[in-house]
């Protein structure tokens, strides 16, 4: 089993965002323990940008990203993924790209707090709390 983890779940943990922190942290711990957690390469730029802005420190943002990279598999994004995302019925390009990569990797789920954003995708989206129940 592979699961792709949406950026919001990772940010919940790093920024200790309540009330999401507990479930998101448990999801990341479980994915790391089982070796099933993935992100796509384009998420690293989003994560760095958000973390640098929120932490107000580029070095802390880099260290956080290094930790993420050490614990989750970073999947490449291909030209075919970009083409498929551009043609996707999903309105948000970043979400569409995540779905296309998840599909190519045969991921079981996309773990996100924004399940509705992925309704038109081919890979089931599941919240951190529902993932923990499954």
pLDDT at 1: 87
pLDDT at 12: 93
pLDDT at 121: 85
45-83 tens-digit pLDDT: 999 999 999 889 999 999 999 999 999 999 999 999 999
pLDDT at 134: 83
Q: Which domains does the chain have, with CATH numbers?
A: 3-133 (3.40.50.1010)
Whether the model pTM is above 0.75: yes
pLDDT at 75: 94
3-state secondary structure 41-93: HHHHHHHHHHHHHHHCCHHHHHHHHHHHHHHCEEECCCHHHHHHHHHCCCCCH
Residues of the chain short of pLDDT 70, as ranges, are: none
pLDDT at 58: 93
What distance in Å separates the CA atoms of residue 49 and residue 19, rounded to the nearest whole number? 23
């Amino acid at each position: 089993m592979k699961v792709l983890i949406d950026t919001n779940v990772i940010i919940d943990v790093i920024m200790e965002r309540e009330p999401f922190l507990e479930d998101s942290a448990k999801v990341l711990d479980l994915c790391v323990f089982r070796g099933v957690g993935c992100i796509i390469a384009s998420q690293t730029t989003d994560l760095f940008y958000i973390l640098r802005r929120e932490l107000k420190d580029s070095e802390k943002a880099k260290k956080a990203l290094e930790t993420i990279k050490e614990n989750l598999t970073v999947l490449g994004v291909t030209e075919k993924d970009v083409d498929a995302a551009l043609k996707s019925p999903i309105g948000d390009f970043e979400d569409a790209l995540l779905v296309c990569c998840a599909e190519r990797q045969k991921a079981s789920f996309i773990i996100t707090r924004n399940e509705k954003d992925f309704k038109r995708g081919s890979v089931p989206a599941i919240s951190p709390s529902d993932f923990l129940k499954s």
